[in-house]
Structure 1
Amino acid sequence: MARAAEMQKAVFGGAQASELERSGGADPLRIPRPYLLFLGDETNPGYAKSAFGIRDWAAEDCVGEYSYGDSTLTLGLPEMTPQVAAQHGAKALVIGIANSGGVILEAWRPHLIAAMDAGLHIVSGMHARLGDVPELAEAARANNVRLIDIRRPPANIPIASGRKRSGKRLLTVGTDCALGKKYTALAMARGFEARGIDVDFRATGQTGILIAGGGIPIDAVVSDFEAGAAEMLSPDAADGHWDIIEGQGSLLHPGFAAVSVGLLFGSQPDAFVVCHDPSRTEVLGYPGTPLPDIAEIIEATILLGKRTNPAIRCGGISLNTKSYDAQEAQALIEETARRYGLPAADPIRGGPHFEALLDSCLA
């Protein structure tokens, strides 16, 4: 996976076109690039995960960063006003921070309006809708720019057909939420491309969509249409082409299993990778609910997944070892591989174990 623009070129062309015609014209979300990343007056890096994710995986699409007031947060990008960013080619200002409740703060509004006055579109992954703020809606009309809410799925998503599609697909699944499904998918897409394989990363969540420049926010799709959205996102492709699909939720999660089932059925993965954080013992945010074992996730994924792809198989295990030093991580990776009889790796650490994981998925 090289540049994000190249990585996502097949999302909106070729095989996708005929698939969209069959689905009544539904179209995955497209984001104008490159970006100016808005950090507001934030000081805590923990609230800027989207901005850091975009910087880490789509640096070529980042013109600069924009903050104000007492902000001490930086991405290490050039600090620019919207006017300067527009002169450097920026097409959109992306709200790269989050807050409790996902609201558009009143203090942000003059800065967002200034960006629109400079000709930039505004992109938000917040729960609140940009267009519901009257002064933002008026500024967008006056400047002929778009207010883009990432968590708003495209119109006319079809009911899933269950039809087997050409090409190959890999889905990242997890023992829990927020443990590395997106980073695993991105790293694997990069690994496939390094081997000369025709591959696309298919984004299903807020940050992934911003990294890729397009996708479908699968957790915002009405449940009956989730599998159809996944079919639309990974259409017919050449036999040697791989779509690597960003997973969401977990099949055995008490709150978010539904999105995982729809994504699994619609993706029809030929291979899947189980993502796991070995430092966790309980489901995140659900005290007293034990974390499922990797074997349970493999069994559940195959049981359900073979309904739309009887040939589904587990390609291996992705471990999030950020809580461990290098020696501890190595020991965990090797023990996990022995225990489950599958390749295991931390894709961010890379190395021979990760290459073995890629080999297994491509086998």
Structure 2
Amino acid sequence: GMHMRLAEIPGLAHVAERLGRRLIDVRVPPANIPVASGRKRSGKRLLTVGTDCALGKKYTALALWRAFEARGIDSDFRATGQTGIMIAGGGVPMDAVVSDFEAGAAEMLSPDAATDHWDVIEGQGALTHPSYAAVSLGLLHGSQPDVFVVCHEPGRREMLGTAGYELTSIEEIVALTIRLGSRTNPAIRCGGFAFNTSAFSAEEAAELMARESERLGLPVADPIRGGPAFDALVASCLA
């Protein structure tokens, strides 16, 4: 399982030692994480949030960061999960942090920066997920995002891993993120929506995203498909 450390599995550790191999556990938080202060930090921050787990928060953050870089904007991708950490070469595995230090870890992950610098922060879980809401809230409070992008998979009906819990609506996630996020950043706003349209054809996806963009009043794009819709999402985040 993802929360098991390789070095703590006796058989694996023994074989690694016998063969002279090194076991690398990525899901280990740094030492001496502080309790969050809530102090407003300099620089700008974007956080990806979601209506559920495993629907594109990491990829969306990476795509937005690469788009910022392509536009000559000083920015960093801030990883909060083990795959993101392996991509970025660093970060904090937020779901391995003790709850009281979640927000502090997010503050440490995204420190003071230049006024025009953007930290694009990988989101985790969902604020309404019965299992993982705690890590989502700590990350939201600690990262103090100026902008958030809601990630969603059209057609998904139930929360991942919790049968019987219906997916929260996009509108409720926006309202909840603003309500809770404004505690540490009163200026928080939604920049738009990132849809995982892998189950749709290109034509179906384009029609769906255009319709939802008109209904929601903000850009809707699939970061993997890119195109003008994604350019509009990037522009909205930077506006």
Q: TM-score by structure 1 length?
A: 0.63
Q: Distance in 1 between matches of 2:96 and 2:162?
A: 22
Structure 1 position 280 matched with structure 2 position 193: no
Q: Which protein is bigger by CA-based radius of gyration?
A: 1
After the TM superposition, which segments of 4 or more aligned residues of structure 1 sit over 3 Å from their partners?
131-134, 136-140
Q: Does 1:307 align with 2:186?
A: no
Q: Aligned pair 1:243/2:122, yes or no?
A: no
The CA distance in 2 between the partners of 1:214 and 1:147, in whole Å, is 17
Number of residue pairs matched?
237
For residues 137 and 37 of structure 2, the distance between their equivalents in structure 1, rounded to whole angstroms, comes to: 15
Residue 289 of structure 1 is matched in structure 2 by: 165
Any idea what the Cα deviations from partners look like across 1:315-339, whole Å, max 9, x if unmatched? 0000000110000000111111011
| Matched residue SS, 1:342 | coil
Which residue in the other structure is 2:7 paired with?
Answer: 130
- In 1: Cα distance, 2:157 partner to 2:100 partner: 32
Q: Which residue of 1 aligns with 2:193?
A: 317
3-state SS in 2 of match to 1:149: coil
CA displacement 1:13-53 (0-9 Å, x = unmatched)? xxxxxxxxxxxxxxxxxxxxxxxxxxxxxxxxxxxxxxxxx
CA RMSD of aligned residues (A): 1.6
Give the 5 Å matches for 1:113-152: 127-130=4-7, 132-133=9-10, 134-135=13-14, 138=17, 147-152=23-28
Q: Kindly tell me: are residues 241 and 296 of structure 1, through their superposed partners in 2, closer, same or farther at Cα, counting changes over 3 Å?
A: same
The residue aligned with 2:238 is 362
Distance 2:161 2:97 in 1: 23
User: Is the alpha carbon distance of 1:288 and 1:135 closer, same or farther for their aligned partners in structure 2, counting shifts above 3 Å?
Assistant: closer
Bigger mean CA deviation after superposition, 130-139 or 311-320: 130-139
Cα distance in 1 for residues equivalent to 2:101 and 2:22: 26
- Please say if residues 5 and 27 of structure 2, whose CA atoms lie closer than 8 Å, have aligned partners that are also in contact: no
1:212 aligned partner, one-letter code: A
Residue 68 (structure 2) aligned to one of 188, 192, 195 = 192
How far 1:131 moved relative to its partner? Answer: 5.1
2:229 is equivalent to residue 353 of structure 1 = yes
CA distance in structure 2 between the partners assigned to 1:255 and 1:191 by the alignment:
32
- For 2:14, the aligned partner's letter is E
Q: Give deviations 1:108-139, integer Å, cap 9, x for gaps.
A: xxxxxxxxxxxxxxxxxx62332553425745
Q: Unaligned stretches of 5+ in structure 1?
A: 1-100, 103-125
Contact map agreement 2:16 2:22 (CA 8 A) in 1? no
| Correspondence list, 1:164-183, <5 A | 164-183=40-59
Indicate whether 1:255 and 2:134 are aligned: no
Amino acid at match of 2:225: R
Cα distance in 2, alignment partners of residues 129 and 153 from structure 1? 15
Question: Which structure carries more relative contact order (alpha carbon 8 Å, separation 6+)?
Answer: 2
Question: Are the equivalent residues in 2 in contact too, given 1:131–1:137 (CA < 8 A)?
Answer: no
Amino acid at match of 2:133: A
Aligned-residue offset at 1:286: 2.2
- Fraction of identical pairs, as percent: 69
CA contact (8 A) 1:272 1:315 kept: yes
CA displacement at 1:290 relative to structure 2 = 1.3
